[in-house]
Chain A
Amino acid sequence: MARKVPEINAGSMADIAFLLLIFFLVTTTMDTDSGIVRRLPPPPDPSVVPPPIKERNVFNVLVNKSDRLFVDGRVGDIKTLRADTKEFLSNPNNSEELPEKKTENIKYIGTFQVSKGIISLKNDRGTSYDMYIQVQNELTAAINELRDELSKQKFGVKFSELTNDDHIQAVQKAIPMSISEAEPENIGGK
């Protein structure tokens, strides 16, 4: 007579399945797409002559084909780029070399000295994308830090934590994202 086969204990199956479930829940990071947001300028209109901009109002950032930086007439470094950009845009000592400011009356902020400075970024065709992103990142970081400072001073919170759209717009108006990209040049070849 055949013996009765003992039942296989399936109690731990649930635990195994749970473990798998949790593993998938944790590892499938829903590929959150993030990145640096930029707005491209419309194509240049040949009939419109660009207005002259004073030398002191332009912050030239050049990146060459071997990923070296040339910042406002000097050899630059990615590590100091953020501080340099901040100094240029804020011009704390009202230096003659650094950009002019225009006094504007902005709602929610009051009178504010808006910098006329423009960052001009120019890269070579041979620049690596990585370097380009690093430069863009530093420039964005400089502007974001300035916005944070202003926002903290006026509204008590960081710029990214502002919820009121009017406040966001006010800060954006006071410190504009003034990065302009020059038309590309082909110096270093491919």
Chain B
Amino acid sequence: MARFKKEKSGELPAISTSSMPDIIFMLLFFFMVTTTMREVTLKVRIKAPEASEVQKLEKKALVSFIYIGPPTQSKLYGTESRIQLNDTFRSVADIAEFIFTEREARNEADRPLLTTSLKVDKEVKMGVVTDVKQELRKVGAFKINYSTKKKVVKED
């Protein structure tokens, strides 16, 4: 317990640490604010499958995301898997336009490096994914990435 006694003259006064919490809080807020991921509001539930042979996505600025999964608000939108581009539900036919706008937003030099990351729920049937892939092939977005979580290796 800290005691506050009358200091004797000649002793060095204790350094005030009362501003320390403020400094730390500032740091805390900085981290809390900066680590908000640049992300769209997910309208679909995505539980990514696990895999062991994953590679990291390098340049995040050059990645466009396509989300596929069952809607979170199933009462409103049903349980059928839906495709989400940016912030809205879209159909397969909108993917071409989406890719074009994504390309437009990048430098001309970066365009060939654009990767499409498919964030798909594990329970989704391949039918939708195949349609999306065919659409991507048509518009020439060949670099894709199946978003997966890194599997924790079990000993068995």
Contacts and interface: CB of A to CB of B under 8 A. Distances in A.
Interface of A: 6-7, 9-11, 13-14, 16-18, 20-21, 24-25, 28, 30-43, 123-130, 132-134, 136-137, 140-141, 144, 184, 186, 190
A123 B124 CA distance: 13
Contact of B127 (A35, A40, A137, A190): A190
A35 B136 contact: no
Interface in B120-144: 120-127, 129-130, 133-134, 136-138, 140-144
B125 A190 contact: yes
B139 to A, nearest CB: 10
A35 B57 contact: yes
B93 interface: no
A18 B24 CA distance: 6
B21 A14 contact: yes
B55 A37 contact: yes
Contacts of B111: none
A38 B49 contact: no
B2 A11 contact: yes
Contact of A13 (B21, B120, B122): B21
A54 B105 CA distance: 45
Interface stretch (B27-35, B83-91, B96-104): B27-35
Q: Which 4 A-B pairs have the closest CB atoms?
A: A125-B127, A17-B24, A13-B21, A130-B122
A36 B148 contact: yes
B20 interface: yes
Contacts of A6: 4
- Chain B, interface size: which category? 35 or more
8 contacts: A17-B21, A17-B24, A38-B146, A40-B133, A40-B136, A43-B137, A141-B52, A190-B125
B25 interface: yes
Contacts of A134: 49, 51
Contact of B27 (A10, A21, A41, A140): A21
Given A24-B32, A133-B49, A128 B122 contact: yes
B54 A123 contact: no
Given A21-B31, A24-B31, A35 B54 contact: yes
Contact of A36 (B53, B122, B127, B138): B53
Contacts of B18: 10
B76 to A, nearest CB: 21
A184 B138 CA distance: 15
